[in-house]
Chain A
Amino acid sequence: MSGRHVIAPAATTNNGGANIKPHRQLASMKAEQRFTDTVLYTILTVMALVWLVPFVIIVLTSVRSMGDLISNGVFAWPREIVLSNFERAWNIGNFSTYFRNSLILIVLKVPLGIIIASLAAFPLAKMQFRFNNIIFIFFLFGLAIPIHVTLTPLLVMMKQLGIQGTLAALIPPYVVFGLPFQIFVMRGFFRTVPSELLEAARLDGATEWGNFWRILMPLSAPALATLFIIDALATWNELLIALVLISSNESRTVPVGLLQFQGQFSSQYTQLMAGVLISITPIILLYIFLQRYMVSGLTAGALKE
C-alpha cells in the first residue's frame, strides 16, 4: 500500500508535464467523465423513482374513499382527501393495542438483551482464558440457526411455564436471537478500548465488574445506541415467533396484528393501506432521523477492518 503511495505522485508529474498529447487525453477523459456522470445520474434517478412507487401507492390509496379508488384508478389524484381510513384502521383494526404491545416488548427486551450480550462480550474481548475462541464461535453459529428449528419446543416450554400466548413468552426467544450479532459487535467495540485504561483502574483497586460499568459501557455509548436501534427495529418487525407463540388478540404485536387486519379487511383496500401506513410510519420517521446509526451498525457488524 505504501509502495503505491510513492508511485502515484511520480506518475502524476510525468503526465502533468508540457506534453500536449496526454493533456488532450486528459481533457477528453474529463468530457467522458461528465458524460458518464449524466448517464449514471439519469439511470439512478429513474431507479429511485421506481423504488419510491410503492410508497406513493400506499399514500394515494389510503387517503381516498373506496368509491373514488374504484372509479378513478389507483394512480389518479384523490378527488377528496379522506382521513377516516386511518381513524377506522386505528380503532377497528386494534392498532392501538398492537402498538402498545410492540413498544412494551421493545422496552423490556432490547435493554435486557444488550446488557447480557455486553457482559458476555467483555471477557471475549479483554480476557485470556482457555475456551475464549470456542465460546465466541459457538455464539456466532447462532447467526445461522433458523428460528424454525426451535418453535415447537419453545411452544411446549412456554405452556409449561404458563406464559404461552402472552407477551412474556416472546422475550426469551427474542433475546436469544439478538445475542450473536450483539456479542459480535460489542466484542469488536470493546477491543478498540485500550487495555491500559482497564489495567490502570485495576491497579487503583477497581474490580472487573466496576471496570465494565464505569469504563467499557460509557465508552461504548455509540455502539450501544446503534444496537438499540437495530434491535428495536428487529423486534418491531419480527413475525414468525410471534405468530406461533401469541394466540390472543390482546397480545398481538404489530406484524401479527397486520396479518389479522389483512384477513379482516381483505377487499377494503383503502383501509388496509391506511393500516399498513400506520404500522410503518414510526419506522420511517426513525429511519429518516437515525439513518446514519442504523446503516453504520450493519456494516460494523458484517465487515471487519
Chain B
Amino acid sequence: MSAITNTPPNHRPTHRHRRLRLTPYLFLAPALIWYLVFLVYPMYQSLTISFMNWDGLSADIRYIGLDNYRRIFFEDDTARLALWNNVLWTLGTLLIPTTIGLMLAVALDRKLRGRTVLRAIFYGPAVLPLVAVGMIWAWMYNPQFGFINYVLKAIGLGFLARGWLSVYETALPATFLTAVWGGVGFPMVLYLAALQAIPQEQYEAAKMDGANGRQLFWKITLPWLREANVIVFSLAVINSFKTFDLIYTMTYGGPGRATQVLGTWMYFHAFQYYNAGYGAAIAWVIAIITLVMAIPYIQRMSRD
C-alpha cells in the first residue's frame, strides 16, 4: 500500500508495482492449482469419507460421525496391532539403520582406500524398487532353498532354520531386516555430508589438548550433527508410518495378520474389503501422525 501512495498518480511505476504483485502468482499458479486439485481436494474428500459408512462403489453412503475412528482405537484388534507394528518399526528404524549409517559415515569420512566403492555398495540398495528388494529377500528367506537357511545348515545351526516369513515371531523382524539392508544408505549419505561440514581445526585443536577419539566424537562430532539428526530422525518416523511396499510384497500382512501395518491395513479395507470409509479413517490416522512428526523437519527446511 505504502509503495503505491508514495508514487505520484498516473505514473508508470504504479503500474509496474501492480504487475510485480501479480507476477509471483502467475508463476505459482500451475503448481498451486495442481496441488489443490490433486492433493488438497482429495485429502479433504477422504476426510469426509472417513466419517461415512461407504463401500467405495455404491450410492449407499451413510454419515456415522467418528465411528470409524472409534473402531480403529477401541474395536479393531488388527488396527491396533498394525499401529503397534508401526511403532515397533519406527523405533527399530530410529535405532538400527540410523546407528549403522552414522558409524559407516564416520568410518568412510576417513581417507580410506576404496571408500567411494564402499559408499556405493552401502547406498546401492536404497535406489532399488522396494518390490524387487522384497522379492529378493523373500527368496533369501525361503524355507526350503533360501540362502539364510542354507547358511545356517552349513555352519551347523540347522536347528534354527525355519520359514522366516511364515512364522509369527519372526515375520516382522525378518521383514524389518530387509528394510535395514535398504535403509542404511540414506542416513549414511546425510551424515557424511554433515561430517564434511565440520571444520577440521576443531579436531586438531582438541587433539593437541590431549582429547582421545571417543571424546572427539562426543564433544565435537555429535554436536555438529544436530541438523542432520533432525532430518534423519524425522524422515525415519515419517517413512516408517508410510511403510507399505515391503510388507505387501513379502508377507501380505501375514502370517494371519501378524505383520499388518496401518498402510497395508488401510489398503486392504479401502480396496479389497470394500470399506472405503474405514480405509480413509486409517489413512487419516497415518496422515495426522506424519504431519505432526514433520513439524520440526519443516521448520528446519523453511528456515533461511
A27 close to B (CB within 8 Å): no
Q: Is the CB of B121 within 8 A of A303?
A: no
B21 close to A (CB within 8 Å): yes
Q: Is the CB of B112 within 8 A of A41?
A: yes
Q: Which residues of chain B are within 8 angstroms of A120 by Cβ–Cβ distance?
A: 27-28, 30-32
Provided the pairs A75-B150, A139-B31, A140-B301 are in contact, do residues A258 and B135 lie with their beta carbons within 8 angstroms? yes
Which of B146, B194, B204, B287 makes the CB contact (< 8 A) with A303? B194
Provided the pairs A295-B189, A303-B194 are in contact, do residues A119 and B291 lie with their beta carbons within 8 angstroms? no
The answer for the CA separation of A138 and B151 in the assembled complex, in Å, is 51
B20 close to A (CB within 8 Å): yes
Provided the pairs A15-B208, A129-B21 are in contact, do residues A237 and B39 lie with their beta carbons within 8 angstroms? no
* Chain B, range 288-304, C-beta contacts under 8 Å to A: 290-291, 293-294, 297-298, 300-303
B interface, size bucket:
35 or more
Q: Is the CB of A48 within 8 A of B249?
A: no
Minimum Cβ distance to chain A for residue B137 (Å): 7
B4 close to A (CB within 8 Å): no
A21 close to B (CB within 8 Å): no
Q: Is the CB of B131 within 8 A of A259?
A: yes
* Chain A, range 35-79, C-beta contacts under 8 Å to B: 36-37, 40-41, 43-44, 47-48, 51-54, 57-58, 61, 69-70, 73-75
Chain A residue total in the interface (Cβ 8 A): 105
Q: Is the CB of B244 within 8 A of A240?
A: yes
Q: Which residues of chain B are within 8 angstroms of A177 by Cβ–Cβ distance?
A: 39
Most B C-beta atoms less than 10 A away, residue of A122, A132, A145, A262: A145
Minimum Cβ distance to chain B for residue A288 (Å): 8
B181 close to A (CB within 8 Å): yes
* Chain B, range 4-36, C-beta contacts under 8 Å to A: 20-21, 23-25, 27-28, 30-32, 34-35
Q: Is the CB of A116 within 8 A of B27?
A: no
Q: Is the CB of B107 within 8 A of A44?
A: yes
The answer for the CA separation of A233 and B129 in the assembled complex, in Å, is 9
B171 close to A (CB within 8 Å): no
A86 close to B (CB within 8 Å): no
Measured CB to CB, the nearest residue on chain B to A279 is B132
The answer for the CA separation of A136 and B213 in the assembled complex, in Å, is 42
Q: Which residues of chain A are within 8 angstroms of B145 by Cβ–Cβ distance?
A: 69-70, 73-74, 269
Q: Is the CB of A153 within 8 A of B31?
A: no
The answer for the CA separation of A141 and B282 in the assembled complex, in Å, is 19
B216 close to A (CB within 8 Å): no
B42 close to A (CB within 8 Å): yes
Q: Is the CB of A240 within 8 A of B189?
A: no
Main secondary structure, interface of A, reads helix
B201 close to A (CB within 8 Å): yes
A221 close to B (CB within 8 Å): no
A95 close to B (CB within 8 Å): no
A273 close to B (CB within 8 Å): yes
Q: Is the CB of A144 within 8 A of B294?
A: yes
Main secondary structure, interface of B, reads helix
Q: 1/0 contact trace for B68-95 toward A, CB 8 Å?
A: 0000000000000000000000000000
The answer for the CA separation of A73 and B21 in the assembled complex, in Å, is 70
Q: Is the CB of A303 within 8 A of B302?
A: no
B174 close to A (CB within 8 Å): no
Measured CB to CB, the nearest residue on chain B to A102 is B129
Q: Is the CB of B301 within 8 A of A304?
A: yes
The answer for the CA separation of A129 and B140 in the assembled complex, in Å, is 56
Provided the pairs A37-B112, A259-B131 are in contact, do residues A151 and B147 lie with their beta carbons within 8 angstroms? no
A291 close to B (CB within 8 Å): yes
Minimum Cβ distance to chain B for residue A122 (Å): 5
Minimum Cβ distance to chain B for residue A17 (Å): 12
Which of B37, B129, B204, B270 makes the CB contact (< 8 A) with A280? B129
* Chain A, range 257-281, C-beta contacts under 8 Å to B: 258-259, 262, 269, 272-273, 276, 279-280
Q: Which residues of chain A are within 8 angstroms of B132 by Cβ–Cβ distance?
A: 255, 258, 276, 279-280
Provided the pairs A74-B147, A302-B231 are in contact, do residues A149 and B205 lie with their beta carbons within 8 angstroms? no
Q: Is the CB of B287 within 8 A of A146?
A: yes
The answer for the CA separation of A149 and B205 in the assembled complex, in Å, is 52
Q: Which 7 A-B pairs have the closest CB atoms?
A: A144-B294, A123-B24, A120-B31, A11-B208, A153-B42, A153-B45, A237-B129
- Residue numbers of A with Cβ under 8 A of B are 1, 4-5, 7-8, 11-12, 14-15, 36-37, 40-41, 43-44, 47-48, 51-54, 57-58, 61, 69-70, 73-75, 116-117, 119-120, 122-124, 127, 129, 132-133, 135-157, 172-173, 175-177, 179, 183-184, 208, 212, 233, 236-237, 239-240, 243-244, 254-255, 258-259, 262, 269, 272-273, 276, 279-280, 283-284, 286-288, 291, 294-295, 298-299, 302-305
- Residue numbers of B with Cβ under 8 A of A are 20-21, 23-25, 27-28, 30-32, 34-35, 37-39, 41-43, 45-46, 49, 56, 104, 107-108, 110, 112, 118, 120-125, 127-132, 135-137, 139-140, 142, 145-147, 150-151, 181, 186, 189-190, 192-194, 197, 199, 201-202, 204-205, 208-209, 213, 227-228, 231, 235, 238, 241-242, 244-245, 248-249, 263, 266-267, 270-271, 276, 279-280, 282-284, 286-287, 290-291, 293-294, 297-298, 300-303
Q: List 13 A-B contacts (CB under 8 A).
A: A11-B208, A12-B204, A37-B110, A140-B302, A145-B39, A146-B290, A172-B37, A233-B127, A255-B131, A279-B132, A280-B128, A283-B127, A287-B127
For the complex with contacts A37-B112, A269-B139, 8 further pairs of A-B residues with Cβ separation under 8 Å are A57-B140, A74-B147, A123-B24, A153-B41, A172-B38, A175-B34, A175-B38, A208-B23
